[in-house]
Amino acid sequence: MSRAAPPDSAMAAFMARLTAGKLIPDPARMFNPWGDHDAEHDLAASAAAIRAGHLHGYLAARLVRARVLLVAEAPSYSGAKFSGIAMTSERDMLAAAANGAGANYFDGPIARTSRPLAALHNQAGMLERTASIVWSAMTGAGFAPQEFVLWNAVAYHPHEAGQVLTNRTPTRPETRALRPLLEDFLALFPGRPVLALGRVCQGSLTDMGIEAAPARHPSYGGAPEFRAAVLALKRRLDV
């Protein structure tokens, strides 16, 4: 089905609101990958702007072609915190760019934002294994990379205070406070079915009145069930 892209102003407004981070309830416990600079772990002060460029290119490449939206709970420190794209590994993006496949993410330059540190085992970039499973499951089921869009119910990375490289479950007040960003994201892709990854995310979306089909989260042994849910979704969309 051919779809018209939303006005450029809608994308610009979404990116401006996202990068500003004004909806974050407690900046000491939540990191904004597109607006914040992590002096210890970012490669350069330009890291946030690079990540914002990644996300803008990624979303723009899917405004017309997207067939389904995958929404997880919140970003992890090994994923969107450095790649700028939900459920996407910096390492996978850099490898694709080096192999001439960067357009699977978006047309344009892909740059590293994480500082190489031995403790992070990130000489080739940060790796989020769940992200790799999600991408391989979607493309393995027959979705073109531009036919699915990855996002999170909570846009920013929740962490323990003073420990930016930790993950924590976002609180209900945080989820509610950041709902406008989720609504802005969904408005960029009207009418697309939503697949919720994990029971917690499904519950959050239900609380917000957002209809979504459930799928087992691919971490902690859930990959086979997640792949099955993706295949079932592909079959339904192809009918």
Task: Tell me if 36 is assigned to some domain.
Answer: yes
- Mean predicted confidence (pLDDT) in 145-171: 96
CATH code: domain of residue 93: 3.40.470.10
More confident residue, 203 or 186: 186
Task: Tell me if 130 is assigned to some domain.
Answer: yes
- The whole-number pLDDT of residue 113 equals 98
For the segment 39-71, what is each residue's pLDDT rounded down to a tens digit?
Answer: 999 999 999 999 999 999 999 999 999 999 999
pTM of the model: 0.94
| pLDDT surpassing 90 at residue 204 | no
Domain that holds residue 105: 8-238
Q: Residue 189: pLDDT band by 50, 70, 90 thresholds? A: very high
| pLDDT surpassing 90 at residue 2 | no
Q: Report the percentage of the chain scoring pLDDT > 90.
A: 84
Tokens of 197: 């990854």
Task: Tell me if 74 is assigned to some domain.
Answer: yes
Compute the distance between CA of residue 152 and CA of residue 186 in angstroms, rounded to an integer. Answer: 11
Q: Which backbone phi and psi does 59 adopt, to 5 degrees?
A: -65, -45
**96, 104 in Cβ contact below 8 A?**
yes
Task: Tell me if 225 is assigned to some domain.
Answer: yes
- The whole-number pLDDT of residue 235 equals 93
Q: Is the dihedral of CA 58, 64, 70, 73 positive or negative?
A: positive
Distance of CA 56 to the CA centre of its chain: 12
- The whole-number pLDDT of residue 230 equals 93
- Mean predicted confidence (pLDDT) in 189-198: 92
Task: Tell me if 168 is assigned to some domain.
Answer: yes
- The whole-number pLDDT of residue 3 equals 76
CA max distance for the chain:
50
Task: Tell me if 3 is assigned to some domain.
Answer: no
Task: Tell me if 1 is assigned to some domain.
Answer: no
Q: How many domains does the chain have?
A: 1
Task: Tell me if 2 is assigned to some domain.
Answer: no
